[in-house]
Amino acid sequence: MKNLPTIDELLSFLKDNLKIILLTTVSGLILFAVGIGYTVYTDSKIEGTIEEQETLIPEIDDSIALEEQFTPEETELLVEKLQETGVAFSFYLEKESADPFKSPDLLKELLISPTVLQNLEQGTNTKIEPSPELAVDVTLDPENLLLTVTIGTGNVANNKIIADAYFKVISEEQSPFFDNKSVYIAAEPESINIITDEKEITDAKLNTATNFGGLSIKKIIFLTVIVIVAGAIVGIMISLIVSLLKKEVNEIYGFAYKDEDKFLNISNVQNNSDDEVSTQIVHSIIHPAKKVKLVLSEEDLDEAMIAKLKKEANTQSGKELRLSNEPMILIANSIIDIDPKIVIDEIVFICKKNKTSKKWYEKQRKLLEIYDAVIKVILV
């Protein structure tokens, strides 16, 4: 019985279906490349559009709380947008107890309090728009405990004017809030979109040069390997389906109907001449010796093979049968061509890969269900 395919049979199957596997793999790579190209193109268009657009500042009603006008997500996005061209400065704020001040929200309340806002707007002759709550942001770095004040109004010039004014208030401690605190300046007001560190500039250039559509070269290589493997697997699956749906037999066709059935595949034997293949088939037919053997083939056997069989045994066509006491080899295209009164010891199927029809083979096996003869299948 043929249970599992051998390595040679698997290699032969892959070779026979190499065109389908390669076509599927190449198609996957093309689609992947198109996807990467489209991603790069769309990203560049989006970036170009963003660069061309000015910061959009929605209409804000001062008489209504921001929470009622915007969702938390909208507020966060608006602050991020305003701060893209913002100006920031950093400082360390120490309490009288020598402990660091860690309440950025409390500091923000001071900075946007009516008294501070009034003095600042009058001193700079600049109104903080679109809203102090949106334009002024205070954050705390958990690692170095530096407080950072960022001013983002959507107007670069106004950002610098307001940031300088706030910097003066804090650095000169112009509020009772600072009476029991000490301010240590870490960075003066500067535009946050300026990269001053040479390493950051190098990293930014390297990141731009080695990324495509947000994907690094290493990730693209990794995904390419996955696409190739997946394409090959899909190609093999398609090949299996095509082979199963074909009307002709091949290596993966289920020749064995019973556990006792024998199967010999010599279709994948390489570097053999036609004469050597014919000799192998004759040898496989004759061994082991039986009183009466029947060779079934959908196509007529070639004369050279019949001549070799006649040299080894009493070989006759099923339609020209002459009974004999010697061991006999009968040749026929169908079991119905054989006299049903003859007791057959072994039946040998000669099936040609991609030529012998499954319908013919299945019909012969159906007719042979009442026979007790040993069945052997040779795939050539």
For the chain (380 residues), the mean pLDDT of every run of 10, in chain order, is 65 85 93 84 60 52 66 79 89 94 94 92 88 90 94 90 94 92 94 57 50 70 92 92 89 88 85 81 89 93 87 65 67 93 94 95 95 94
* Residue 165 DSSP class: H
Intra-chain end-to-end CA distance of the chain, in Å: 17
Q: Which helix (H) or strand (E) holds 73?
A: helix 72-82
Question: What pLDDT, on a 0 to 100 scale, did the predictor assign at position 65?
Answer: 66
Q: What pTM does this model have?
A: 0.51
CB 254 within 8 A of CB 361: no
Question: What pLDDT, on a 0 to 100 scale, did the predictor assign at position 236?
Answer: 92
Token reading at 378: 């040779």
To 5 degrees, how large is the angle CA 91–CA 95–CA 98? 100
CA-closest candidate to residue 83, choices 148, 29, 11: 148
CA-closest candidate to residue 231, choices 14, 13, 19, 29: 29
- Domains of the chain in start order, with CATH, are 1-65+195-245 (no CATH), 87-192 (3.30.70), 262-379 (3.40.50)
Question: What pLDDT, on a 0 to 100 scale, did the predictor assign at position 82?
Answer: 83
